[in-house]
Chains A and B, each alone.
Chain A
Amino acid sequence: MNINHHLDDATLISYSAGALSQGMALVVATHISICDQCRQLAEANDALGGALLESLDSEKVGDTMLANLLSQLDDQPPETVTLAPVKRDPEIPVPLSDYIDGSLDQLEWKRIVPGVAYYDMPWEGRGVSRLLRIAPGKSMLAHTHDGNELTMVLRGSFSDEVGRFCRGDVADLDDQIEHQPLVDSEEDCICLIATDAPLRFTTLFGKLVQPITGF
């Protein structure tokens, strides 16, 4: 896959450190699963975690823990890797398929305004974690953020002040950027997005609909 926009290394470090929200970690895992370049960086960052683990001063464990474990080992079946279902929709990368049944078109999309709909991921948190579906020629409302925002394209494409984003690309933005993505594909653009803080819309209309959209 030809991917032109990648994750920021600061985001990848945070993912390896286990410091990302569920929603942000889902976008990262989904992108890494199809991007060799980011995967190599993620593996290097995990190795940093391993080295840091080794560098820690030991903490005493209970005297009986090893004996407890040894007494259980014979009853432990080896864990097998859960293979992704064979019928899995190829449009949905494996990490995301854990949370979506069927295809993207079968989801119960909720309309915000004409041409813009969303589907929320099944968890609650401080930020946003959802799929966003925007019709051709439509634009996401201009906004900025207090925190980070990750947007990965699953279908179609959009352009904003940073560049053009197609399937597999990820926009990894922070609070320095105000942007207004415009869908420039012939089909709907579907993105997986996550923020670690609420968005701030920059137009009066955006501010008016903010309570409705739940951002």
Chain B
Amino acid sequence: MNNRPPGEDLENIVQISQADMASSDWSDLLASLSENADKRVYARLFHHFAPKVKAYIVRLGVNGGAAEEVTQEVMLSIWRKAHMYHPEKAAASTWIFRLARNQSIDWMRKQKYPLYSLEEWSDTAAEPGQGEQEVLSDRVAKAISLLPEKQSQVIYMSYFEGRSHGDIASRLDIPLGSVKSRIRLASEKLKQIWGGEYEH
């Protein structure tokens, strides 16, 4: 593989239809990359996730060449951090979402988003990510479609536009408390649909 131009043979391999892959298959694939740095596996992950990551970054307000640049950085960090991925702790989509979120914020603010460290996650006595693997994207998409529009709207404005509670309040012209209660209600309903394991 090293003697050929990068990407040449890999392109053929990844032509295999990826449409049938379930969420858990992507987690298995990322887990296999964590054990073995295989460029073919990486290319398959790239074809599935890079266009999603870019869509997310564009929605956050990063445009044009910068969106490409940040997407590339995120995809590169998947390769560099893959050995730290644990499928029992997070689905591939969750793990990649975190990378995309952190890198987008760091790029926009030129400042590192404060994170609770990976080390502490792995040492925790509580069972992290419990039940998380069951959260399949189609179920969540369906769950969100079942929410009243006022509730799904604040979830989208938070995750896809990165808006603070105060910002959402002024955009929708409603009190801050209403924004928070809508988010709380949406979050409670979504988690009930997942199995109610995250009750406060």
Shortest Cβ distance from A172 into B: residue: B180
B interface, over-half SS = helix
How many of chain B's residues have a CB under 8 angstroms from any CB in A? 103
B140–A48 contact, CB under 8 A?
A: yes
The stretch among A29-37, A108-116, A159-167 that forms the contact with chain B is: A29-37
A59–B55 contact, CB under 8 A?
A: yes
Shortest Cβ distance from A96 into B: residue: B114
Shortest Cβ distance from A72 into B: residue: B76
B residues in contact with A43, CB < 8 Å: 89-90, 94, 128-129, 132
Q: Residues on B close to A: CB < 8 A? A: 2, 5-7, 10, 23, 37, 39, 42-43, 46-47, 50-56, 58-60, 67-68, 71-72, 75-77, 79-84, 89-98, 100-102, 104-105, 109, 111-121, 124-126, 128-132, 135-137, 139-141, 144, 155-156, 158-160, 162-166, 175-177, 179-181, 183-184, 187-188, 190-191, 194, 197-198, 200
Q: Residues on A close to B: CB < 8 A? A: 6, 8-10, 13-14, 16-22, 25-26, 28-30, 32-33, 36-37, 39-62, 65-74, 76-79, 81, 83-84, 94-95, 98, 123, 146-148, 174-176, 196-197
23 A–B contacts from the bound complex (CB under 8 Å):
A6-B200, A9-B183, A13-B183, A19-B163, A22-B111, A37-B126, A39-B121, A41-B198, A44-B197, A48-B140, A48-B187, A49-B98, A50-B91, A50-B95, A52-B155, A53-B93, A55-B141, A70-B7, A72-B76, A79-B81, A123-B111, A146-B166, A148-B176
